[in-house]
Structure 1
Amino acid sequence: MALYLLYESAAGYACFHVQGFDEIGHKTEDVANSVTNLDRFGKVVKLQAFCPFNSALDALNQCNAVSEGHVTDGLRSFLELTLPKVRQSKKPKFSLGVAEPKLASHIYEVTKIPCESNEFVLELLRGIRLHFDKFLGNLKRADLDKAQLGLGHSYSRAKVKFNVNRVDNMVIQAISHLDLLDKNINSSSMRLREVYSWHFPELVKIVNDYYRYAKVANYVENKLELSDDKLSGLTEIVGDEDTAKEIVEAAKASMGQDLSPVDLVIVKQHTQCVIKAVEFRKKLCDYLVAKMNDIAPNLTALIGEVVGARLISHAGSLTNLAKCPSSTLQILGAEKALFSFCIDLLFPPQGIKKQGQHTKVWPHISLFIYWPGICSEKGPMARYLANKCSIASRIDCFLEKNTTAFGEKLREQVQQRLDFYDKGVAPCKNIDMMKVAIENAERKDTEMEVDKTSAKPILEKCKKRKYKAADDVEPTPDEAKRVKGKKKQRKVDQEPEPYQAADKANGPNEFKAEEATAKKKRTESENRQRKMSRKESF
C-alpha cells in the first residue's frame, strides 16, 4: 500500500511519496535514527509535487485553516490533482500521512482520501522538515527562513485577541503604584507636620487629617498674616466654621517660632507636593475601580477592587490566578511566613519545652486580612473565601460576557457562611446559587434583580436544610458541634424558665423527673470537663 505525505511549509504545500513502506512501516526507531542522513532518507522519500502560495496573505489564510483543522479550496484541489483518484466502488490502494489528526479527519470527510497520523508519519515529516530545502533545488535556506519568520509574525498577530479593556497589566501597575503612593504620602505628610509644627504647633491637634492639614498649611502659610478675612477660605477647606474659628484663635496665641521667607516657600512647595500626591491617589483609585470592573467584575463584586487587584498582582495575571487552585490562592502574599513556619516545624528554636508549641501562627489568611468580612473564624473563613475567589477568577478569565451576576451570588454565599458561624443558618448549595446566577446573567438587565419565581423554591429548599454548608467546602464536625452548641445556648437564653411550661403541661411528677435528668446531664458534663483539664495539666 502506497504512502503519501502532506507537508505544510511557509512557502507552500508539498506532497512526498514514501517508497518501501511495507519494509520499514514497523521500524519507527530505525526511521528516527536515519532521518538525519540525507542519503538514506532521500532513497525512501521522494518529492511528488509542490504548490507555492500566491502571497503572504494567502500563506496566512492557509496557515490559519490548517491550525483550525479545515481544508481550503486550494489544498483540496492540490490533493485531487496530485494523488491518485479515489473511486467509490474500489478500495483505495494508498493513504495520506498528515501531522494533525483533526486535519486528517476533515480531509477524509471532504475528499474521501484515507488519512493516517501516527508516530511513523511524524518521524518522516520531521526528516522532511530538516531537508526540505534540499528537496527543492531552487529554494535557498535563507529564503525559507525569511518566509517562516514573516509567517510566524503574521500568524501571532492574527491569533492574539487584543482587548484594551481587559489588560490586567495596568491593574498590576496601578495597585503597585497605589502602595508606593501610600508610603510616600505617609512619609511626606509626617515630614510636613514636623516642619510646619515648628511654626504653628497648635494646628496638629486641631486638624488630624493629613490632606486637610496640608491644604490648611498651604492656605495659611505665615500664621502672623492669618486674620478673620481668611475665615471663609478656611471654612471651605475644613468644612466646619467652628474649626476654622479655632484655627484663627490658635494662630493669634501660637507659641511657634517665626520662619524666614525662604523657609515659608519651601514649606509651601512641600504642601503642594502632598496635595498633588493625594489628589493623584484619588484619581488612581477611581481608575483602579473602573479597570477592575472591566477585567474581573465577579472577583470585584466578591471581595472588592483592592483585594482583587492584589490577588491578580501576586499571581502575575488574571490567567495565572485562574489556574491557581484555591489552596494556593489562600496563601498568596504569605510565602515568607509559610516558609519560616515550615522551618520552625522542621527545626524548632531553642528554649521550647514541649514539642508542638510554636510561637508563630499558621499563615492561612494572607491577603484576605485586607477583606473587612474576616470574622473570628479566620482559618475556615479564609479557606471558604479562597474557594469562591478561585471560582470567580475562572469565570472572569474565560467568560467573554461582562457580568457581575456570579460575583453577587458568590458574595451572598460568603455572607450566608458568616451567618452560619454566627447564627447557625445553613448556606445554600453552590449549584443552586449558580443556577440562579445563570438565569440572571442571561437577562438584559445588568442590575441583578433576583427573579422571585425562579429563586423562591431554591431558597426555600436551602432554609429546610440542617447544618449543611456548600458542597465544595463542608464544615468540619467540630465547627458543626460548636455552631449547634451556640444555637442551643441561645435558645436557653431566650427561654429563661423552660421547666415552668413543662410543669404546667405534664404535672409536678413529670417535671421533677425531667429536672433530675437535666441535673444528671449537667453533672456528667462538668465531670468530663474536669477530667480533660487534668489530662491537659499532666
Structure 2
Amino acid sequence: MIELNTNVLGTFALKNGRIIKRIQLPRDPRRLAEKLIEAEKAPCDEELQLISYLRETGIKSVKVRDPERFSGYKLGIELVEDKRPTDPLRIASDLGISDNEFTELLFKTNLEITRIKLREIDRDQIIIQAIASLDELEESINRLMKRLREWYSLNFPELDLLVKKHELYAKIVSSDLQNLDPGLLEKINRAREETLGIEFSERDRDAVESLSKSILQIYDTKERIEKYIEKTMPEIAPNISALAGPVLGARLIALAGGLERLSTLPASTIQVLGAEDAFFKFLKTGKRPPKHGVIFQLPEIRSAPKDKRGKISRAFAAKLAIAARMDRFRGEFGGDKLREDFLKKVESLK
C-alpha cells in the first residue's frame, strides 16, 4: 500500500519505503517548522496535492499518520492508519542527504517548533494574567464602593437605598447625571430635599467626588480588560470561547492553571472548578457535594430551576472538556456545534 509521509525533508508518496513522488517543503527552518506544526492538526497543502495525484493515478487507499487529521475533507480515497511509518533517515539516504545534514536540519527545525509552541504557551499565560487582573479590579471596586457608600451616606443616606448598582452610585456622587432615568432623578431630588444627612463643606464634597471618580476610572480599566479578553480568547481557545463565552472560558483556563491542564481534566472536575472550598467541606463533613463551580456564571445554568442545574452543569462540563481538547491540539473549529448541542440538551431538560 502507498504511504504518505511528511517530515523535514518534504511530503512523500512511498511504496515499500521507496520514493514515488516528492513535494519539497520550505528549507528555511522557521517556515518549515510552521508547516510541520500545521500538519500536526490538519493536512498541509502538499499532502492534499499528493493525495489528489495518487487518486488520479488510480490509487484507492493510502496509509497516513493519524487519519483523524483529514476528517472533514472529501478526498475520494481511503485512509488507513500507518502504524510503522518509514524512517526519515532512510528517505534522506535515498535522496543522497548525509546523516549529518539531516540531523542539522532536524535540530534547527525542532528548535523553531519549540520556540513557536513556547510563544503559544505565553499567550495562554497572558490570558490567565488578564483574568487575575480583572478579579483584582473587581475586588478593589467592591472595597472602595463600600467606603464610598459609608462616606457619602453621612451627607445623603437615602441614596444608598435608592441606587443599588455600584457604578451608577459612583456616577451620581461624581455629579455625572447625564442619561440618568428621569424617574430615578426625580426620586433622588425629592429625597435630597428631605435628607437626614449632615451638611458637607465644599472641601468635603471635593474629596468624596475625587474618590468616586477614581472608582469610575477603575470601572473603565475593567471594561478595557474585558474587551481585551473578548478579542484575545477566540485566538487562543476558539472552541472554549464559542461554547462558554470569552470571559468564562478564560476564567476556566485560569482556574485549571492553563489550557493544557484544562484539556486533561475530566468533565466531573471541570464541573466544580472554582468550588474547591465547598468540595473540601463535602469531603470533611459528608454533606452534599457542589453541583457546579464557576460555570454557574453561565446564564443557562444560573437561570435554570435548582433541580435541573446539576444535569445542565454536567452536560456543559462534558462539552467543555471536548472544546478544551480541540483547542489544546489545535483541531478543527467546532465550538458553534458544541454550543448548539448543549442548548438542545438544555431544552430537552426543561
TM-score tier, shorter chain, comes to: 0.5 to 0.7
1:341 — aligned with what?
Answer: 282
The residue identity in structure 1 corresponding to 2:135 is D
Change in 2 beyond 3 A, CA 1:289/1:107? closer
- Give distance in 2, aligned partners of 1:197 and 1:327: 46
Are the structure 2 counterparts of residues 174 and 342 from structure 1 closer, same or farther at C-alpha, using a change threshold of 3 Å? same
Q: How does 1:17-416 map to 2 (within 5 A)?
A: 102-110=87-95, 156-157=111-112, 159-161=114-116, 167-219=123-175, 234=177, 236-238=178-180, 240-344=181-285, 358=286, 360-374=287-301, 375=304, 376-399=307-330, 403=333, 406-416=334-344
Given that 1:172 and 1:312 are in contact with CA atoms closer than 8 Å, whether structure 2 keeps it comes out as yes
Between the aligned partners of 1:165 and 1:287, the Cα distance in structure 2 is: 18
Aligned to 1:531: none
Q: Equivalent residue for 1:11?
A: none
1:248 deviates by: 3.1
Q: What SS does the aligned partner of 2:300 have?
A: coil
Q: Tell me by how many angstroms 1:112 deviates.
A: 11
Please give the per-residue CA displacement for 1:427-464, whole angstroms capped at 9, x wherever unaligned. Answer: xxxxxxxxxxxxxxxxxxxxxxxxxxxxxxxxxxxxxx
1:156-179 per-residue CA deviation (whole Å, 9 max, x = no partner) reads: 456422668981222211211212
Q: Is the 8 A contact 1:212 1:237 kept in 2?
A: no
Secondary structure of 1:188's counterpart equals helix
State the distance in 2 between where 1:263 and 1:182 align: 26
Q: Deviations over 1:165-214 (max 9, x none)?
A: 98122221121121222222122112111111111222223333221221
Report what 1:28 is aligned to. Answer: none
Q: 1:365 to 1:171 in 2, by over 3 A?
A: same
Counterpart residue number, 1:118: none
Distance 2:158 2:278 in 1: 43
Relative to the length of structure 1, the TM-score reads 0.43
> Shift of the alpha carbon at 1:338?
3.3
Query: Residue type of the partner of 1:386?
Result: A
Quickly say closer, same or farther: Cα 1:390–1:411, change in 2 above 3 A. same
Secondary structure of 1:160 counterpart: helix
Identity %: 31
Q: Distance in 1 between matches of 2:170 and 2:151?
A: 12
Going from structure 1 to structure 2, the CA distance change for 1:152 and 1:364 (only over 3 Å counts) comes to farther
Measured in 1, the distance between the counterparts of 2:212 and 2:108 equals 51
| Counterpart Cα distance in 2 of 1:207 and 1:378 | 31
- Note closer, same or farther for the CA distance 1:324–1:109 as it changes in structure 2 (3 Å cut): farther
* Residues 1:336 and 1:153: Cα distance change in structure 2 (over 3 Å): farther
Which amino acid is 2:221 matched to? F
AA in 2 matched with 1:160: R
C-alpha separation between the residues in 1 aligned to 2:271 and 2:164?
Answer: 36
Q: How far apart are 1:313 and its partner, in Å?
A: 0.4
- Go from structure 1 to structure 2 and tell me whether the alpha carbon gap of 1:332 and 1:204 turns closer, same or farther (over 3 Å shift): closer
Shift of 1:324: 2.6
> CA 1:287/1:293 → structure 2, altered by over 3 Å: closer, same or farther?
same
Alignment of 1:475-486 (within 5 A): none
Tell me by how many angstroms 1:342 deviates.
Answer: 3.2
Comparing 159-168 with 325-334, greater Cα deviation is found at 159-168
Equivalent position SS for 1:333: coil
Q: 1:251 Cα deviation (Å)?
A: 2.8
Distance 2:139 2:263 in 1: 30
1:246/1:107 CA distance change after superposition, 3 Å: closer
Q: Is the contact between residue 185 and residue 274 of structure 1 (CA under 8 Å) also seen in structure 2?
A: yes
Structure 1 counterpart of 2:143, one-letter code? S
Residues 216 and 237, structure 1, Cα contact 8 Å, conserved in 2:
no
**Counterpart residue identity of residue 342, structure 2:** V
**8 Å CA contact retained: 1:166, 1:294:** no
Q: Which has the higher contact order (CA 8 A, sep 6+)?
A: 2
Residues 217 and 343 (structure 1), Cα distance of their counterparts in 2 relative to 1, 3 Å cut: closer
Pick closer, same or farther for the CA change 1:112–1:287 going to 2, 3 Å. Answer: closer
Please report how far the alpha carbon of residue 265 of structure 1 lies from its aligned counterpart in structure 2 after TM superposition: 2.9
Distance 1:276 1:307 in 2: 23
Q: 3-state DSSP class of the match of 1:200?
A: coil
Supply the AA of the counterpart residue of 2:250: A
Q: Structure 1 pair 367/202, CA: closer, same or farther in 2 (3 Å)?
A: closer
Between Structure 1 and Structure 2, whose CA radius of gyration is higher? 1
After TM superposition, the score normalised by the length of structure 2 is: 0.64
Q: Tell me: CA distance 1:160–1:249, structure 2 relative to 1, closer, same or farther (3 Å).
A: same
Deviation of 1:271 after TM superposition, in Å, equals 0.8
Contact 1:368–1:382 (Cα < 8 Å) also in 2:
yes
Note closer, same or farther for the CA distance 1:105–1:244 as it changes in structure 2 (3 Å cut): same
Aligned letter for 2:269?
A: T
Query: In 2, Cα distance between the equivalents of 1:108 and 1:255?
Result: 93
For the residues of structure 2 that align with 1:158 and 1:301, how far apart are their CA atoms?
A: 28
